[in-house]
Amino acid sequence: MIKTLMGDGDIRYKILMLLQTLIIVLIALTVHEVAHGWTAKKLGDDTAEKQGRLSLNPLKHLDPFGFLSMLLFGFGWANPVPIRAGKFKHPKLGMAVSALAGPVANLLLAVFAWLIVEIIIKLVPMDVYLAYAGYTSATEEIAFAVNMLTVSTEFFATFHYLNLSLAVFNFIPVPPLDGSRVLYSFLPDKLYFGVMKYEQIISMVLIVLLVTDILDNPLVWIVEKVSEGIRFIIPII
């Protein structure tokens, strides 16, 4: 699940932003699910591989209702990769690690995207910056370079924030999110089955919180803080 964003401006800009967001979300969700399946395979569960789910083809992971919900309500979901705990040598640990792989993959994509943004900024000539800032008259070449700079940095910045949002959201330790599978691995069996009885209710409460935007502010705050950390570390590296 992930909140989608749309930019301000005229209708054409909004359509382009929406298309850009949908492309990024499809990539993010696909990598997320493949990471689950690939990690599960490495730990002994080849269910996802046998069902053809270790593919980077977004259509293999698309959930029609999740995609429609994303368009209508601003959040959606992919078709979860099947994982069978019984095939793991250590079922609880296997479930925790395979669940953790999804958000970690999105976190790595977010870091990679911002690294690209930093590289683009470092490689742009000074006259492009000056023209962009209005200090000099822009030739056609400079104007084209500025446009390419804007499009590229905007794409990868959006790629960064959406993947980071997906990672942060899935780290929440409530079902059906990945964070809950990690939490469950540390719970005694009695407490685990006690929580599982209320999994559907907890999931419904989560959906209500999403629809009513109650989770927006705390999630945005966390995403911004993690992003600040990434943006601080990358130039040092």
Which residues are annotated as catalytic? 33
Average the pLDDT over each of 4-13, 88-97, 100-109, 179-188 and give the range with the smallest value.
4-13
Stated pTM of the model: 0.82
Q: Which has the closest alpha carbon to 75: 180, 152, 172, 191? A: 172
Q: Is the pLDDT of residue 135 over 60?
A: no
At residue 140, the pLDDT reads: 62
Query: Is residue 36 within 8 Å of 68, Cβ to Cβ?
Result: no
Confidence of residue 20 (pLDDT cuts 50, 70, 90): confident
Residues of the chain above pLDDT 70, percent: 79
What per-residue confidence (pLDDT) applies to 10? 66
Average the pLDDT over 44-65 and give the result.
90
- Banded pLDDT at 6 (limits 50, 70, 90): very low
Higher pLDDT, 78 or 129: 78
Q: Tell me: the pLDDT tens digits for 147-178?
A: 666 777 888 999 999 999 989 988 988 888 88
Instruction: Give per-residue pLDDT as tens, 78-128.
Output: 899 999 988 998 888 899 999 999 999 999 999 999 999 888 877 766 555
Cα 70 to chain centroid, rounded: 13
* Average pLDDT along the chain: 81
Residue 56: how many other CB atoms lie within 10 Å: 11
Least confident range from 39-43, 54-58, 167-171, 176-180: namely 176-180
68 Cβ contact list (under 8 Å, min separation 6)? 76
Q: What percent of the chain clears pLDDT 90, i.e. is strictly above it?
A: 34
**Cβ contact 101:42 at 8 Å:** no
Answer whether residue 15 shows pLDDT above 70.
Answer: yes
pLDDT for 30 beyond 80 = yes
Task: Name the residue among 109, 232, 107 with its Cα closest to residue 179.
Answer: 107
pLDDT of res. 25: 87
Residue 1 has pLDDT above 60, yes or no: no
Residue 195 confidence (pLDDT) above 80: no
Q: Which pLDDT score, from 0 to 100, does residue 73 have?
A: 62
Q: How far apart are CA 19 and CA 6, in angstroms?
A: 9
pLDDT value, residue 160: 95
88: left (phi over 0), alpha (psi -120 to 50) or beta: beta
Instruction: Count CB-CB contacts under 10 A for residue 101.
Output: 23
